[in-house]
Amino acid sequence: MTTYNGSCHCGDIRFSFEHDEITGGLHCNCSICIRKGALMSDFTIPAKDLQIDAKPGALTLYKFGSGVAKHYFCKQCSIYPFNETLRMPGHFRVNLGCIDGVDPFSLESKVFDGKSL
Ligand SMILES: [Zn+2]
């Protein structure tokens, strides 16, 4: 297991979690992910295993549709560090571009058909 550390661009939101080596990621084609274009983790992290350290008021939440999926972003720099998933409430996917030492462009990526859900 490796400890991964991540942050938004300005650093008001920091997070960490433990996982096996990250070798791939997931692009989703749903209406919000396709606009963001971020490569997300292909694994989910239970809320209890994702350590979030955010300045008060920094973590901002966007919801739409059913409101089940929770799309968090930084109030200051607008970066989207993680989201709580639609299919597994209480579990998070993280934006691989936010993680120290991870190069999303060197990873294998799969497309998840979120548009059809
Ligand atoms: Zn920020």
| Sequence-ordered list of residues with C-beta below 8 angstroms from that of 71, at least 6 positions apart, any chain | 32, 61, 62, 63, 80, 83
Identify which has the larger pLDDT, 89 or 57.
57
CA dist 43 and 16 (Å) reads 14
Distance 115 CA to ligand 1 centre (A): 28
pLDDT at 108: 96
Q: What is the pLDDT of residues 45-59, one digit of tens each?
A: 999 999 999 999 999
Distance 75 CA to ligand 1 centre (A): 7
Instruction: Write the DSSP symbol of residue 67.
Output: S
42, 46, 70, 2: CA torsion to nearest 10: -50
Residue 100: which pLDDT band, with cuts at 50, 70 and 90? Answer: very high
Distance 52 CA to ligand 1 centre (A): 13
Distance 19 CA to ligand 1 centre (A): 24
Closest CA to 26 of 13, 47, 44: 44
Q: What is the pLDDT of residues 17-46, one digit of tens each?
A: 999 999 999 999 999 999 999 999 999 999
Report whether pLDDT(116) > 90.
no
Asked if CATH classification 2.170.150.70 holds for the domain at 2-110, the reply, yes or no, is yes
Burial class (CB in 10 A: 0-12, 13-18, 19+), 94: buried
Residue 115: which pLDDT band, with cuts at 50, 70 and 90? Answer: confident
Distance 48 CA to ligand 1 centre (A): 22
Distance 59 CA to ligand 1 centre (A): 8
Domain extents in the chain: 2-110
CA dist 87 and 25 (Å) reads 17
Q: Please, which residues have CB less than 5 A from ligand 1, an ion?
A: 8, 10, 12, 74, 76-77
Q: What is the pLDDT of residues 72-88, one digit of tens each?
A: 999 999 999 999 998 88
